[in-house]
Structure formats: C-alpha cells, structure tokens
Homo-oligomer: A and B are copies of this chain.
Amino acid sequence: MKVKVSLDKNTSYNVYINELEKLNFNTKVVILTNELVAKLHLDVLLRKIHAKELFVVKIKDGEEYKNLQTIEYILNQMCSYKLDRKSLLISFGGGVISDMGGFVASIYQRGIEFINIPTTLLACVDASVGGKTGVNNKFGKNLIGTFYQPKAVYCQSEFLKTLASRELAAGMAEFIKMAVVFDVKILSFLENLDEDKFLNANLDDATLAQIIQKSIELKANIVSQDEKENGLRMLLNYGHTFAHVIENQTGYKKYLHGEAVAIGMNMANTLALNFGLLSEQECKRVQNLLIKFKLPISYKIPNIEEFYNAFFLDKKTHYQKINFILACGLGKACIKNDISKENIMQALKVFV
C-alpha cells in the first residue's frame, strides 16, 4: 500500500508500506546508516538496491551523535566518493539517521535527492515523513536544520522485527501523540491492542502496517496543509516542547526520543488539566495507555527555573512567547502562548 504526501512545486512523494522490491538508480548512491542497523539489515537492503556506484557511510548509533561534527564527517565521505548533484542519498535507520541524512542531502552541493528507508517504528510513523531535517547542538534539539522533502519513503515491517521492546514503545509514543491530538478512535484501538505481542515484535504484519499507515495518513494530511510549520503542523509537537528540554538536560543519552515525548505529553496534560482543557479522567486515560506500552511518564526536574528558561530556545517560541501545544479534550489540540510563568511553574512543580 502507499500514502501520498501532497505538496506543491513537484515535491509530492509517496510513502510505500511493505512494497520495497528492487530499486534501480542510474546514478551514484550513498547509503547512510549506523553500525547496528548495518549489522542487522544492510545485506538485505543491498540486495534490493542497484546503482551506478554504491557507497555506504556508517556512523555511530545514538542521538548523542546527531550533531554538526557527524554532519561534517558524512559530507567529507561524500566528497571523497566524488558524489555529484545527480547522486542520491538513502537514509537507512531510525529518526536520527533520517534527520541527518535529509539534512546532509539538503546541503551537499546545494541539495541532492534522498530517500528514507526507516528501520524503527518511530521513524516509520513519524520522523521519515514530512521533510524536517536537522541536528542538535549544546543549546537544544534540532536547532540546526532545513525543511527538505524526500523523494520517497519505504517502510518495511521486516526491518522492525529486530527492534527491542523499548524501541517499539518509543515509536508507539509518537502514534499515541497522533491519537491524542487528532483522532480519539486510535486511543480505543490502542487500548485493545495486545501490548505483549506488540512489545515483543510479534504483532502480525497487517496490524503493524495498519498502525504505520494510519499515522502516515494523519501526518501527510497535516504536512500537505502546512509544510513549513506556520500553524497547524505545530500541533504535531504536542509533548515535544517538554521532551526537547528533557533530552537536552540528559545529554540525549538517557531517553529515546519517543520516551521523552511520552513524559512530555504527560507534562503537557498536567498543564492542560490546570487550565481545565483536559479532565482528570482524560489525563489518566492517556497515562494508562503510556504505561500499558511501558513508556515513562515522569522525569525528576533538577531545577524548574532552568527547565523553564530552556523553553525559550524552542523553535516554537516567538517574541519571548512560548507556544504550548495542549490537548483540548482527547482527539483535539490547541496552541496556547499566553500562559503565565507562574502557571507553567505550577505544572512543572508536579515533576520536581
């Protein structure tokens, strides 16, 4: 099956689910991956890709390597292979790989084409689609990057079979995000899903594909309407304003991105609860779903003043106003930029 991401100016593309057979390129191709993914799946991928010349760049696994130093390393490798403007980059890995691969593709010789082949559930349901690329720096998450769309995305359930339950749970966090923000029916679907099968990578292919498809359909719809995140697309950052601070404070090492998002959603819900946007019952329902999928819902904030100040480097902060994405009932979300410091601190205090 496939889902179309409709954009203007010839940048529309398809996300294919379980449809990767053979890809032939009459150009040089470089595959960007990490050491772990390469060990598990590169052989399988290489049998499917035919190119004029094929190169592989491997980087270390982990969000802590998602920085400009790694970008420079990748660019140097590409230069040494004499890749030209018609060459293609394939990001083969999780969200870190697709974020960096897209960024590199957008700045190598002022832009070459790229394709995403995600190998984590998180990248399938979220990161590989939508054209957000970038890296972190010491100031925060994804502060450096571009909007740059892939030419195609291929999600293959075969690559998800080797994922640890923690990785699968992290992907589920982004899907739960979609449910809370856009579609309450998904919440019921997930409440009825066999979490053991899911977390042990034993879910049947059809159900897994259904999860991926639903998530991408929702995201494609949003991105088509607001590619550059001027409004609607901001809603996808529900939980992320908090998550980015948590990831930064823990050096991008302690939590997987999806785990930080899970905590972030719970923090956002605490704020929403204080404003009467969510009922206690609704908050609890989301908490229970996160817990069901073994996701963390709490983070001990070392210093709430510092935590608060870190919001001002979030990309959604404009003119000193922090844009909080809050659930307004389940299945709906809104942007609040007029919350007083006092009210924010009050919500943060719950996590001290």
Q: Which residues of A contact B (CB under 8 A)?
A: 8-9, 27, 52, 68, 71-72, 75-76, 79-80, 82, 84-86, 103, 106-111, 132-134, 137-140, 142-147, 228-229, 312-313, 315, 317-319
Instruction: Chain B residues near A106: list those with CB within 8 A.
Output: 146
Q: Are A139 and B76 in contact (CB under 8 A)?
A: yes
Kindly identify which residue among B76, B86, B143, B317 contacts A79, using a CB–CB cutoff of 8 Å.
B143
Q: Are A146 and B107 in contact (CB under 8 A)?
A: yes
Q: Are B84 and A144 in contact (CB under 8 A)?
A: no
Q: Are B318 and A86 in contact (CB under 8 A)?
A: yes
Q: Are B72 and A68 in contact (CB under 8 A)?
A: yes
Instruction: Chain B residues near A84: list those with CB within 8 A.
Output: 315, 317-319
Give the Cβ gap from A138 to chain B, nearest Cβ, in Å: 8
Give the Cβ gap from A133 to chain B, nearest Cβ, in Å: 8
Given that A27-B319, A68-B72, A137-B76 are contacting pairs, would A143 and B85 also be in contact in the complex, using a CB cutoff of 8 Å? no
Best-buried of A107, A108, A147 by chain B (most CB within 10 Å): A107
10 cross-chain CB contacts under 8 A: A52-B319, A76-B137, A79-B140, A79-B313, A82-B312, A107-B134, A109-B144, A110-B145, A111-B146, A111-B147
- Complex CA gap A76/B135 in Å reads 13
Given that A110-B147, A146-B106, A315-B110 are contacting pairs, would A137 and B79 also be in contact in the complex, using a CB cutoff of 8 Å? yes
- Complex CA gap A72/B145 in Å reads 12
Given that A312-B82, A319-B27 are contacting pairs, would A146 and B143 also be in contact in the complex, using a CB cutoff of 8 Å? no
Supply 13 further A-B pairs (C-beta < 8 A) apart from A75-B144, A110-B229. A8-B9, A68-B72, A68-B75, A72-B137, A75-B137, A79-B139, A86-B318, A106-B146, A107-B107, A110-B142, A110-B146, A110-B315, A111-B147
